[in-house]
Each structure stands twice: as C-alpha cells, then as structure tokens.
Amino acid sequence: MTSPFEQESDHFFQKHERIYPMRVWGKFRILKWAAMTGLLAIYYVTPWIRWDRGEYAPDQAILISIARQRMYFFDLEIWPQEIYFVTGILVLSALGLFYVTSLFGRVWCGYACPQTVWTDLFVWVERIVQGRRNERIKLDKMPLCFEKIWKKGLTHFIWVLIGMATGGAYVLYFNDAPTVIHQIIHFELPFETGAWIFGLTVSTYVLAGHARDQVCSFMCPYARFQSAMFDKDTLIIGYDEERGEPRGKHKQGESWDGRGDCIDCHRCVHVCPQGIDIRNGLQMQCIACGLCIDACNEIMDKVGLPQGLIRYDSYHHLHNKEEKGFHLLRPRTIYYTIIMAVIFSVFIYFLLNKSPLEMNVIRDRNPIFVKLSDGSIRNAYTIKILNKTREKRNYSLSIIGIKDAKLKLEDVDFVDLNNIKVQSDGVAQYRLYIIAPPTSLKGNRTDIRLSLVDNETHYQTNYKGVFVSGK
C-alpha cells in the first residue's frame, strides 16, 4: 500500500501534462475579460500620462527615476530619505490583499494577478490562431507539417511581440517614455535598458506561454499560505455535493429520480486553467476564476436544471444549508479593517506633514577636532540641504548652544550664511566648520543645534548634535 507521502511525491515529480482550457462564456468570463482589458490598458498607458511639475522637473505622472533618485506619483514626490512612504504603501497593499482574501478567497489570483492576466492573453492568442480546445490538442499530436509550423510559428511570434511590449512598457516606468521610444527608433537604446526589455520579454514569454499553471502551483508562495487567511465564512468556489451526487450521464427524457444533478460531463474540468476537478473539493491550485461556474451553469440550462451546482459560497453554507451564506463582519475582517485604518491614518498624517526642507549633517570622525593657533577649537561637518519644493529657495544657517561660535563653509567664502541658495528640487552639499573660542566651551562635549530657516516661508528644520573640544 502506498503511503500519502509517496502519493504526493509521485504527483509532484510526475511529468506535467499540458492544459488546454476550453472556451466558455458567462458572467465570470466577461468579468475576467473586463479585468484583463482594464489592467492591461492601465499598464501600457500609464507611462504616457503627463503631469506638469514645473520647470526642470519630469512631466511623467508616474516615474521611478534612478538618475534623480526620486519616485514621482502625480503630486507626490518621494525622496530616498522618505522610503517609509513606499513601505507604508507596500504594507497597506499586503493587508488589503489579505483582507480581500479573507472575504472573497483568491479573487486576486483569478482576476488581477499579472500571471493570470498575461496567461489569459496568451491563451486567447493561441485560441485565435490554433483553434478550439480539440483542435489545439490535435495540432500538438500532429507530426511536423506545414500547418503545424505556420500555426505554431505565428502563435510564438505574437507571444514574443507581447513579451517585448510588456518589457518595453515596464522600463517606461523608470525612464521618460518619449525618450525611450526615440532611443529605440534610432537604435540608441542604452545597454542596461535593452537588457531589462530582453529579460522581461523572455520571462513573459516563458511564464505566460509555457509555465502557466505551474507558476501558480509551484512558484507562487501565495497558494501555499492562503489557508491561513481562510475561514468557514470565506467565499470559495464549491461544488454542492448534496445536490450533485450521485453523478452520472443523462439522456434527454430520462428521469432524475435517485440521481444527482451532475451529469459528469467534465466541462468544469476542461475550462479550468489549472486543470483541476472542483468536484473533489477546494484545492490549492484553484485560483477562484469562476470559469467552472460559467461552464456548469451553461450545462444546467441545457438540461433544464437550476444554476448554482458549482458556485461561490462559504464552506458553512455549502455543508449546512441552514447557515447564512455570507458574513461580512466577523473577527478576522474586523481585525484587518482596524489595522489598515491605523496604518492608513499614520500614512496620511506623515503625507500631510511632509517636510519641504531637510538637512542632513554628518560630523567628521577623523580628526574629531582641531585646535587652531589662537586656541580656538574647530569641528568639521558635512551638511546636505534638500530643497523639496519646485522653487529656488534661500536659507539662513545658525548655531545655538555655543556663545560666539563662528560658522564657515569650506572654500565658499562667497556664500552668505544668511542667504544660502538651493535650486528647486535640488540638493546642496557643503563642508561646514564650526569654530568656538575655548572660553565658551564647558567640558569635553557641548550640545549644539544647527538651525536652517527658509527666508521666505520661515519653515525651520534643526539638527541636534555635539561639539567636541577635548577638554
């Protein structure tokens, strides 16, 4: 007798059988087409949306600029020092995914996951060129001939074109879109950009054209831990076993007495992009796309039975008809809502209080201090002033904590410390010397505060540090 472990091992290592999804039509298939069309349109069109940010600033609405070290999202500009905004967005996205999963199961996988979207597109191309399911199966079994060569060749050629468009659109999020297109047309594309396009072309072609269901079953970790977000009230795709069994073939005019509504046509299996039989219960491979529901409803209409033999429902209601079908408010969803509300509130607070000015100061460690000929003590610092506004700004720099201390910018005596100019959306870096008379110092370390003030708006930012004298 074979152990469960050996059975699982045999399944894992057995040769993969290619899945040929059958075409089906229904409300969930329409919803998938709408999701695919909308998401692809957003992906390909977004880099071309323009957004006026003023002179010298990029006019691309969404841009992750490596050269400028900025992330632009319409009016929101994220500097490297503000990476916590990206962290907040990622955390909210993850929690949103968990929240939706706890309510509606793996609808993300079935409708919005990039692997699903591009696989749907590739399968559609395959169906247009090679024909319906039986024709595609027949074509694959056919010996090499002209028909097989041109149909397969055209299919793969279109797949490569889609992959190139996918890779090309991706790099537009990191570069100015019109500039990249100009570079491609004139064969002036930088090697790094071309390498990214090539890599994404290959990955799209392989994952959506060949790997397909294997990505969901073996590569994606989400399928592995989704059960941690499910409970008995989560909406899943389920087979009503009480109504459907015992199953069996049915001919028109035969009585339904003593038998279930399932006619064992396997249509639900043939339309499944994962190739599973939903009648065997909820399985890890199920991506909750709903195509099996459309297929089963179509068959139920043909045999004159009510729809819903396969449907979205909760585990509770599927196995106990007296239970309510769906509970929106339950402990799991309440917890997610509270956590997301707190994180979102914190995110909005920091966003509304985003500083237009930042000063970074690093004190020299070697030497820690220098004693000048007149007995004064000098400490050196590297100071960076970040002007996050769209206008040139003038700032005043002063020190608090040491009486009669002097500030000096190395090799830039012409810079007035009361009128430090920084270009719009720019960074100015200086080497700063603080020189203090020994009579103003008390002990080895003196607490100081550097104050930088915008001369126009009077916005102020401070740096708290120490002045080392060696006393």
- When pLDDT is averaged across residues 50-55 and rounded to a whole number, the result is 84
Chain mean pLDDT for the chain: 88
Q: Are the beta carbons of 419 and 394 closer than 8 angstroms?
A: yes
Residue predicted with more confidence, 54 or 198: 198
Buried b (16+ CB within 10 A) or exposed e, 240-273: beeebeebeebeeeeeeeebbbbbebebbbbbbb
Q: Whole-angstrom Cα distance, residue 320 to residue 232? A: 11
In this predicted structure, the answer to whether residue 338 has a pLDDT above a threshold of 80 is yes
Residue 9: per-residue pLDDT: 47
Residue 3: per-residue pLDDT: 47
pTM above 0.75, yes or no: yes
Per-residue pLDDT tens over the stretch 84-100? 888 889 999 999 998 99
In this predicted structure, the answer to whether residue 471 has a pLDDT above a threshold of 70 is no
Per-residue pLDDT tens over the stretch 255-264? 888 888 999 9
Residue 414: per-residue pLDDT: 58
Per-residue pLDDT tens over the stretch 307-334? 999 999 888 778 776 666 667 778 888 8
Please give the torsion angle defined by the CA atoms of residues 404, 408, 414 and 415, in that order, rounded to the nearest 10 degrees: -90
- Tokens 């110092």 -> residue: 441
Residue 415: per-residue pLDDT: 67
In this predicted structure, the answer to whether residue 467 has a pLDDT above a threshold of 80 is yes
In this predicted structure, the answer to whether residue 7 has a pLDDT above a threshold of 50 is no
Residue 2: per-residue pLDDT: 44
Residue predicted with more confidence, 136 or 353: 136
Q: Whole-angstrom Cα distance, residue 43 to residue 112? A: 12
- Report the 3 state secondary structure along 362-426: EECCCCCCEECCCCCEEEEEEEEEEECCCCCEEEEEEEECCCCCEEEECCCCCCCCCCEEECCCE
Residue 136: per-residue pLDDT: 94
Structure tokens belonging to residue 354: 């985003």
Q: Whole-angstrom Cα distance, residue 252 to residue 303? A: 8
Residue predicted with more confidence, 44 or 285: 44
Strands (E) located in 24-145: 62-65, 70-73, 76-78
Strand partners, 2: none
Residue 411: per-residue pLDDT: 64
**Percent of the chain having pLDDT more than 90?**
52
Q: Are the beta carbons of 45 and 36 closer than 8 angstroms?
A: no
Per-residue pLDDT tens over the stretch 23-35? 999 999 999 999 9
Per-residue pLDDT tens over the stretch 226-235? 777 888 888 8
Residue 274: per-residue pLDDT: 92
- When pLDDT is averaged across residues 389-417 and rounded to a whole number, the result is 83
